[in-house]
Amino acid sequence: MSRASEDSNRRMLRARDAMDRAYAEPLDVPALARIAHVSEAHFIRTFKTTFGETPNRYLQRRRVERAMFLLRSTDRTVTDICMAVGFSSLGTFSRVFAEVVGEPPSVYRRRGPVPLAPSCFVMAWLRPGSN
Partner 1 sequence: MINALTISSIYVLDQDAALDFYVGKLGFEVMTDLDFGGMRWLQVHLPSDPTRSILLEKPGPPSMSEDTAAQVRELLTKGATGGHLFFQTDDAHKTHAELKERGVDLPEEPITQPYGIDFGFRDPFGNHLRIAQMTPPPSA
Please pick, from the candidates 91, 120, 129, 131, the single residue that binds partner 1 as defined by CB under 8 A: 120
Quote the least distance from Cβ 87 to partner 1, whole Å: 22
- Which residue from 39, 74, 92, 119 is in contact with partner 1, where contact means CB under 8 A? 119
> How many amino acids of this chain bind partner 1 (CB under 8 A)?
22
Classify burial at 128, counting beta carbons within 10 Å of its beta carbon; exposed 0-12, middle 13-18, buried 19 or more.
middle
Report 22-51 residues binding partner 1 (CB under 8 A).
35, 50-51
CB of 124 to partner 1, least distance (A): 10
Residue partners of 60: CB distance under 8 A and separation at least 6: 96, 100
Shortest Å, Cβ 25 to partner 1:
13
Among 7, 28, 99, 103, binds partner 1 (CB under 8 A): 7
Residue 97 CA from chain centroid, whole number: 11
Q: Which of residues 68-107 bind partner 1 (CB under 8 A)?
A: none
Among 17, 80, 99, 103, binds partner 1 (CB under 8 A): 17
d(CA 69, CA 66): 5
Q: Which residues of 45-69 are buried (b: 16+ CB within 10 A; e: fewer)?
A: ebbbebbeeebbbbbbbbbbbbbbb
Is there binding between residue 6 and partner 1 (CB under 8 A)? yes
